[in-house]
């Protein structure tokens, strides 16, 4: 009998749950780096919700454009309002005062990038 890695079937799309993408801008005096913004977003979510609730939001940092200071995060569609509120509560990133504004929420990244 051949022993090896068993192929697991992927979870069907209908069972994965819906997700939403949130486009936000971070205004500060100095340009921010993607790594600093990502760490701050996750730190704020963990402080507010804790590890278990943050995992339930299915938070994922998609990216941050350092030239335009605009970023995108992904979360579950059930936790969009909590994610928007938490983003807007970010007041400081790597020692710089920051004002974060939610620009738009969408079901696809393509609509946000257009």
Q: Is the pLDDT of residue 5 over 70?
A: no
pLDDT tens digits, 52-108:
998 989 999 999 999 999 999 999 999 999 999 999 999 999 888 999 999 999 999
| pTM: predicted TM-score of the whole model, two decimal places | 0.84
Quote the Cα angle for 108-45-77, to 5°.
30
CA-nearest of 52, 74, 55, 61 to 34 is 61
Which CATH number goes with the domain that contains 94? 3.30.70.3250
Q: Which residues pair with 74 in a beta bridge?
A: 21, 60
- Give the residues across from 21 on adjacent strands: 74, 106
Residue 49 lies in a domain: yes
- For residue 12, tell me if it sits in a domain: no
Domain extent at residue 40: 18-113
């Amino acid at each position: 009998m051949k022993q090896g890695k068993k192929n697991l079937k992927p979870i069907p799309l209908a069972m994965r749950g819906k997700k939403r993408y949130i486009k936000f801008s971070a205004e500060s005096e100095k340009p921010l780096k993607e790594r600093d913004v990502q760490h701050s977003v996750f730190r704020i979510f963990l402080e507010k919700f804790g590890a278990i609730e943050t995992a339930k939001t299915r938070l994922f940092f998609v990216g941050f454009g350092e030239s335009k200071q605009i970023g995108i995060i992904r979360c579950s569609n059930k936790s969009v309002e909590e994610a928007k509120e938490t983003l807007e509560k970010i007041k400081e990133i790597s020692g710089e005062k920051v004002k974060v504004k939610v620009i738009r929420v969408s079901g696809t990244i393509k609509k946000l990038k257009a």
